[in-house]
Structure 1
Amino acid sequence: MTPTFAIPPTFLGSTLDPAAARICVAGVPLDLGTTNRAGAREGPPAVRRASRMLVDGDNPANWRDPRTLGLADVGDFAIALGDLPGSLSLIAEQAAAYAHLVTIGGDHSITLGLLRALARRCGPVGMVHFDAHVDTWPDSFGQPLGHGSVFYRAIVEGLVDPRRMIQIGIRSPCERAVYDWTLAQGVRIVTAEEVHESGPRVVAEQVHAVLKSGPAYLSFDIDAIDPGQAPGTGTPEVGGLFTWQVMAILKRLAGIDFRGMDLVEVAPAYDQAEITALAGSAVIWQYLCLQPFS
């Protein structure tokens, strides 16, 4: 058995030809949409390195090993240097080539490009969104695009069905008008405090009730997790989810028709002992274990 430090520098050490893969993993080293600390462009290699800790056996929750799923790491997408709208167009163009894509960011603005590609194939999708922030501001400090406005744009553009959208871990400061607009669209908001008080099983039941049937997408901002357990991010907010709560919710989401996911906002320069990158890689690993293996 290959020791973890010698695993190839891809997600879970994948070396499968993308043409033969059921699910592909891509990195998007883009952080032009950040509004606080930059650095999420370094997220993809950090999460890939951390994923080496997950290659030595099955997931004890369901005895599945994502490496047997048919997984290929296709490397990093091209971006337009210094050009956020241009980069989102490039992301959408490249994402369209993959039937089921798992993406490592990069800041949360990349999700808009990914959803544009997915919606062209599936129509408006349901959304499970883990985050400290609602990300439904109509702009980001006067700019129409950014990591704080990604789901405002996604709703307005008809990329997601807000009546089949649930946000988990929300706790940041937010203008009342933004919060109320989000609720008025039909989005279910589950605060971090609600998760702490009700527990993962109840939250997972809410996810199933909101999503019902139909295609869905998972977008996971690492700042959903408390900065005491995931400090390596650009906009940390205290009072967040614990990693055990995240894992407990995710493992109960089997049966949802996920068509893709992203893990965003890992900024390794602010990390401690890789704990943020480890959390991010585990989120993706848990998601992959939910997929049909037959």
Structure 2
Amino acid sequence: MSATAPLHTGSVANADLPLYGELGMTFMQFPLVRDIQASLADVVVSGVPFDLATSGRPGSRMGPQAIRQASANLIWEGARWPWTFALDDHLSVTDSGNVRFKHGEPQTMVDALEAHIRSVLQSDKTALTFGGDHFISLPVLRAYAEKYGPMALIHVDAHTDTYSGGSEYDHGTIFHRAVEEGLIDTEHSIQIGIRTAYTYEGHPFEVLDAAWVGDHGPGAVLEKIRQRVGDKPTYLSFDIDGIDPAFAPGTGTPVAAGISIDCALKIVRGLQGIDLIGMDLVEVAPAYDHAEITALAAATLALEYLYVLAANKQQKAAKS
């Protein structure tokens, strides 16, 4: 190679090449699609390799690709247990790769992600978004609110993320800001698995803390969810640290005494019939993982969510 030959023809500065980009497999080996508007898919999977808003251990920028890689363990089942049908018989899913933005400039991520999700929704699709840290939920919710108005929120996490302090880009303030901006219908929203301090008086959401979930089980959780969200369009935001670190150690802010992966899967699986309009799954930090168990948990939760969408689609078709 000539000493003057360029290493590549793109430019990281103008985001022609995403820093943690497109190499490797897609989620569940779904087709890679760049032209979202032309796609006939029901769901678009996207990655957001961003962790500049994290307050704990960094590394969740590597989460999207870790989740995609772990999904290789799930692709061999024709019909995922305990479902009785193959997902692709009823739901079309594509992977659009990772959202592109300028590394080190958080506002470029905000703008690019909001525009990306808006494009997904304008094409009558729904988004499944892999973080990255939890701050990515805010631009996603902004795009969703443009279409749906204030929506119900099901939020699984160790933390409420309703803290009013912090900087403009902070993964602990996202739902405080989302409420301020009118993106969420707080009367129809619920937080599950919380086990860190928050201000109880005036808290905008109903909270089922991790101890309550452990004592009452997923059936009682689902009953509370259904009572809370009703028939509202509902967005699911799942922080992997909602899971106990025994099952999901690969995250930036692990907190002991969380919910089990079995309980979490039963909760997601039980959301059939709720008007689910989108999901993000965030805070997988593979550098702290062991044997990919956190990434596998995340991939499995995402796949369960897709099966719920497929089941909901079948129910609607049967009624029409």
Q: What is the TM-score of this pair, normalised by structure 1?
A: 0.91
Closer/same/farther in 2, CA of residues 147 and 92 from structure 1, 3 Å limit: same
Unaligned 5+ segments in structure 2 are 1-23, 315-320
**Please, which of 84, 103, 106 is the counterpart of residue 81 of structure 1?**
103
1:4 paired residue number: none
**Please, which of 30, 33, 49 is the counterpart of residue 14 of structure 1?**
30
Preserved contact between residue 57 and residue 252 of structure 2 (Cα < 8 Å): yes
2:114 paired residue number: 92
Classify the secondary structure of the residue corresponding to 1:144: coil
Query: Is 1:150 aligned with 2:168?
Result: no
Q: Once the two structures are superposed, what CA deviation does each residue of 1:198-244 show, in whole Å capped at 9, x if it has no partner?
A: 01000011111100012110000000001111000000000001000
How far is the alpha carbon of 1:66 from its aligned partner? 3.0
How far is the alpha carbon of 1:16 from its aligned partner? 6.1
Q: Distance in 1 between matches of 2:135 and 2:284?
A: 13
**Please, which of 56, 59, 65 is the counterpart of residue 39 of structure 1?**
59
Aligned partner of 1:11: which letter?
F
2:162 paired residue number: 136
**Structure exhibiting the larger radius of gyration computed from Cα positions:** 2
Query: Is 1:276 aligned with 2:294?
Result: yes
1:219 paired residue number: 237
Preserved contact between residue 12 and residue 67 of structure 1 (Cα < 8 Å): no
Q: Within 5 Å, which residues of 2 pair with 1:1-294?
A: 9-15=25-31, 17=33, 18=36, 19-55=39-75, 56-68=77-89, 69-99=91-121, 100-140=126-166, 143-172=167-196, 174-175=197-198, 178-182=199-203, 185=204, 187-291=205-309, 292-294=312-314
Classify the secondary structure of the residue corresponding to 1:102: strand
Classify the secondary structure of the residue corresponding to 1:287: helix
How far is the alpha carbon of 1:58 from its aligned partner? 1.1
How far is the alpha carbon of 1:64 from its aligned partner? 3.4
Q: Distance in 2 between matches of 1:64 and 1:117?
A: 32
Closer/same/farther in 2, CA of residues 16 and 77 from structure 1, 3 Å limit: closer
Q: Once the two structures are superposed, what CA deviation does each residue of 1:55-110 show, in whole Å capped at 9, x if it has no partner?
A: 22213333233334100000000123222233212210111111300000000000
Cα RMSD for the two superposed structures? 1.4
How far is the alpha carbon of 1:119 from its aligned partner? 0.4
